[in-house]
Structure 1
Amino acid sequence: MQRGRGRLLADWAVVLVAAVLLALVMDRLSVPSPALFGGLAAGLGRALVGRTRLALPRPALTGAQALIGVSAGALVQPETLRVVADHWLPVLGITVATLLVSLAAGQLMRLQRGISSVTGAFAMIAGGASGITAMARDLGADAQLVGVLQYLRVVVIVVAMPVVATTVYGADATGAPAPADDGPGWAAGLLFTAVCVAVGLVLGRVARIPVGALLGPLLVAAALDLTGVAQGADVPGPVESAAFLAIGLQVGIGLTRQSLRVVGRALPLAVALIVGVIGACAGLGLLLSATAGVSRLEGYLATTPGGLYAVLATASGSGADATFVLAVQVLRLFVMLFTAPLLARWLRRGRSPA
């Protein structure tokens, strides 16, 4: 008994060390969400070479979901709501249109054998990659396929966006980025995070919120930010990275040779649909520009389906209105995360027997 427990702990220690090292390498290579990719790669390696299956403990997954929820909720600021209120009709219309584009692409993913309607929809949801990946399994989707395709879209966006912004929309790549706001410090950030997680988990359970482990803390963090109680506090960087690492591990260790074959078969269709979604969102950006009175660059950045922090860096560095871009991106993030449980329920109800 003790020997088996020790072997399990040693197994996890090796996987965690590998995940951290891979995350550091990917960070040096400027890979988006390096902790998540490091965890995914380490988990995948363990899944393919290990003789036994590992499973992320449920408390660790719940904690990771809660931390990602707090991180998303902390993006909401009073200024965000003011900007959305000033342009509420075009912004809301574009957000709904983005959701419909995602849903259409997700249903086209069903053309690939072995992919359910729920998995296809979650794999193609435009935005909120970490949150969607974290809640996928709880809502009946194939978390491994969803995670791989969600972050494939993020990588495509992060690589292509600076080029498109500069060559197509005339962004000035030499502009100085806005100075970073470090907030009130790590101690306040830890307290803010702990309160949001504790209260949010209770709220999610008592109110029976779907995927309450993520959406409960998200609501609490947003409320504390909007009321000014948080005073700019956020999830400390290492804590947030640990959450991403856990989600990456959960996806990676769940992959098998069979699921990798499904991913491989789905890649050509998935890449085509990802490019289509990105193109459709760029078209919606032009429409947003015309209806909200913002520049075409700001419309494009505001509707880019993912890569939030890279989008904000490009907006700040090019002199675009980063507040407007953030407001539209955050509204879409909230809409995608909160409609995901309803979408999953609707798709499961409408699924016809094979």
Structure 2
Amino acid sequence: MRWVLLVLATVGVTVPLDRLGVPSAALFAALLVGIVLAITRLAPARIPRFAGLAAQGALGVYIGTMVHPDALSALGPHWPVVVGVGVATLLLSIGAGALLGLHRDISPLTGALALVAGGASGLVAIARELGGDDRVVAVVQYLRVAVITATMPVVVTLVYHAERSSHAAAAAPQSHVAPWYLSLLMIVVLVFAGSVVGRLARLPGSGLLGPMALTIIAELSGWSFGLAVPALLVSVSYMLIGWQAGVAFTRESLRAIQRLLPAALGLIVLLNIATAGLGVALSKIAGVSMLDGYLATSPGGIYAVLATAVETDSNVTFIVATQVLRVLLMLFAAPLLARGFVRLTYRRASTEASSDPTAVADARPAARTSS
């Protein structure tokens, strides 16, 4: 009955949010419903691990299908500048995350993952595996996407004086889309093979990054055969990821996150302003408009960015290619960043313990007792 309640309530919240155009509506609904049911002790104890890994893999394939050779070729000779802007965005995110990590309620690693500007759903999916608190990462990442998505129309109108196009613009339809059963078969193969390859390569977050890497290779090599992830599967994956974080909430953790939100909101605003400055630099160097530079470097809400670009007759292919590169950079860099945080913390702990004779002396009797 707990599972039935969780599923029905999540679907009931997802449908209206999706109609309102809320980004990643299923993930937000699952997170919200999971929190409410967990606080009222009506949620399942936990989400099965295999279900979480399957959701990571499906999401990795979905993100991988965003990479198209024709879109990336739109960057032309400006791709080093775009990569440099992505690296600068990553460094700004790390700096903001380090400041957030000074808060007494979270660790520096959790703060860094919470403010990495790209791939919010993917980061939430692997946050626990990387050693962070996925509850904090989920709330702050979704707050980041929500703030940027909500402020984008205001900024575009008031700052860049953009107007909606008088003619309807639409993205070019995909030339070939595989039948749903073939897509499902390919997804299963990519998820299984990607997870195995990721583990053999000792890739952190292998459940997400392994399938995503194989999908990108298939897309760029022309061997994807029109692979398309069904919308229902994407929504179910979002729900599983949201539930995984939501049902783990307690009243104490909710109070801690409430204390954290003002600082997180302030850092999100500062990050948005800083990346807008990078957009100005990108527009000057790449020779695109100021609006194109802003949309290309917006640190979140890739679907809202795409919709705004289409409505304002912006350079859609350039903006999409830049955004996809940013998301891929963030998702691949975040696990390496997490591994670096863990190693640094371990070295500091070892150094402090070895330099404290009292701590060493206290540890020896405890070791004898436990043996």
TM interval, shorter chain, is: over 0.9
Matched with 1:13 is 4
Report the AA paired with residue 24 of structure 1: V
Match of 1:126 in 2: 117
Q: How does 1:324-343 map to 2 (within 5 A)?
A: 324-343=318-337
Residues 78-126 of structure 1 deviation map (CA, whole Å, 9 limit, x = unaligned): 1233234521221111111101100000011022112111000001101
CA contact (8 A) 1:302 1:329 kept: yes
SS across alignment from 1:87? helix
Name the structure 2 match of 1:213: 207
Higher deviation after alignment, 291-300 or 79-88: 79-88
The amino acid across from 2:313 in the alignment is G
Deviates more, 1:47-56 or 1:206-215: 47-56
Q: Hey, what does 1:58 align to over in structure 2?
A: 49
Contact 1:74 1:222 in 2 (8 A): yes
Deviation at 1:347, TM superposition (A): 1.5
Gaps of 5+ in 1: 1-9
Report how far residue 188 of structure 1 moved: 4.0
1:97 aligns with 2:91: no
Q: Distance in 1 between matches of 2:225 and 2:343?
A: 43
The one-letter amino acid of 1:32's match is P
- Look up the match of 1:46: 37
Deviates more, 1:296-305 or 1:195-204: 195-204
Please state if 1:116 is matched with 2:116.
no
Q: In 2 relative to 1, CA 326–48 (structure 1 residues): closer, same or farther, beyond 3 Å?
A: same
Q: Does 1:229 align with 2:220?
A: no
Which position in structure 1 is the counterpart of 2:287?
293
1:70 corresponding residue in structure 2: 61
Judging changes above 3 Å, is the alpha-carbon distance between structure 1 residues 197 and 168 closer, same or farther for their aligned structure 2 residues?
same
- Contact map agreement 2:101 2:109 (CA 8 A) in 1: no
Counterpart residue identity of residue 347, structure 1: F
TM-superposition CA deviations, 1:51-92 (whole Å, max 9, x none): 676100001000010011011111111123323452122111
Asked whether 1:278 is paired with 2:269, we answer no
Q: Which amino acid aligns with 2:216?
A: A
Q: How far does the alpha carbon of each residue in 1:164-190 deviate from its partner, in whole angstroms, 9 at most, with x for none?
A: 112212322245231463651534432
Measure the CA separation in 1 of the matches of 2:131 and 2:206: 15
Q: Name the aligned partner's letter for residue 309 of structure 2.
A: A
Partners of 1:233 and 1:312 in 2: CA distance: 21
Could you list the per-position Cα deviations for residues 166-223 of structure 1 after superposition, in whole angstroms to 9, with x for gaps in the alignment? 2212322245231463651534432332232122122222322211110011011111
CA deviation profile, 1:315-334 (whole Å, cap 9, x unmatched):
11211111111111111111
| Match in the other structure for 2:170 | 178
Amino acid of the structure 2 residue aligned with 1:49:
T
What does residue range 250-265 of structure 1 map to in structure 2 within 5 Å?
A: 250-265=244-259
Please list the CA deviations of residues 18-71 of structure 1 after superposition, one character each: whole Å capped at 9, or x if unmatched.
111111121122221110011111111110111676100001000010011011
Alignment match, 2:360? none
Query: Structure 2 residue aligned with 1:321, among 301, 310, 315?
Result: 315
2:227 and 2:73 mapped to 1: Cα distance? Answer: 20
Identity value in percent: 47
Alpha-carbon distance in structure 1 between the residues aligned to 2:242 and 2:343? 29
Q: Kindly provide the amino acid, as one letter, of the partner of residue 28 in structure 2.
A: F
1:192 aligns to what SS in structure 2?
A: helix
The normalised TM-score by structure 1 is 0.93
Residue 6 of structure 1 is matched in structure 2 by none
> Which amino acid is 1:160 matched to?
T
- Aligned positions, number: 345
Kept in 2: contact 1:74–1:221 (CA 8 A): yes
Whichever residue aligns with residue 14 of structure 2, its letter is A
Distance 1:339 1:37, change over 3 A: same
Larger of the two Rg values belongs to structure: 2
- In structure 2, distance between residues paired with 1:256 and 1:180: 46
Cα deviation digits, residues 280-302 of structure 1 (max 9, x gap): 11110000001111111111011
Q: Alpha-carbon deviation of 1:233?
A: 2.3
Alignment correspondent of 1:147 = 138
Tell me the distance in 1 between the aligned counterparts of 2:213 and 2:326: 15
TM-fit CA distance, 1:234: 1.8
The alignment status of 1:239 with 2:269, answered yes or no, reads: no
Other-structure match for 1:23: 14
Aligned residue for 1:158? 149
* Gap regions ≥5 residues in structure 2: 353-371
Q: Distance in 2 between matches of 1:55 and 1:103?
A: 30
Cα distance in 2 for partners of 1:51, 1:291 equals 55
Secondary structure of the structure 1 residue equivalent to 2:74:
helix
What secondary structure, in the 3-state scheme, does the structure 1 residue paired with 2:101 have?
Answer: helix
Q: Are the equivalent residues in 2 in contact too, given 1:55–1:250 (CA < 8 A)?
A: yes
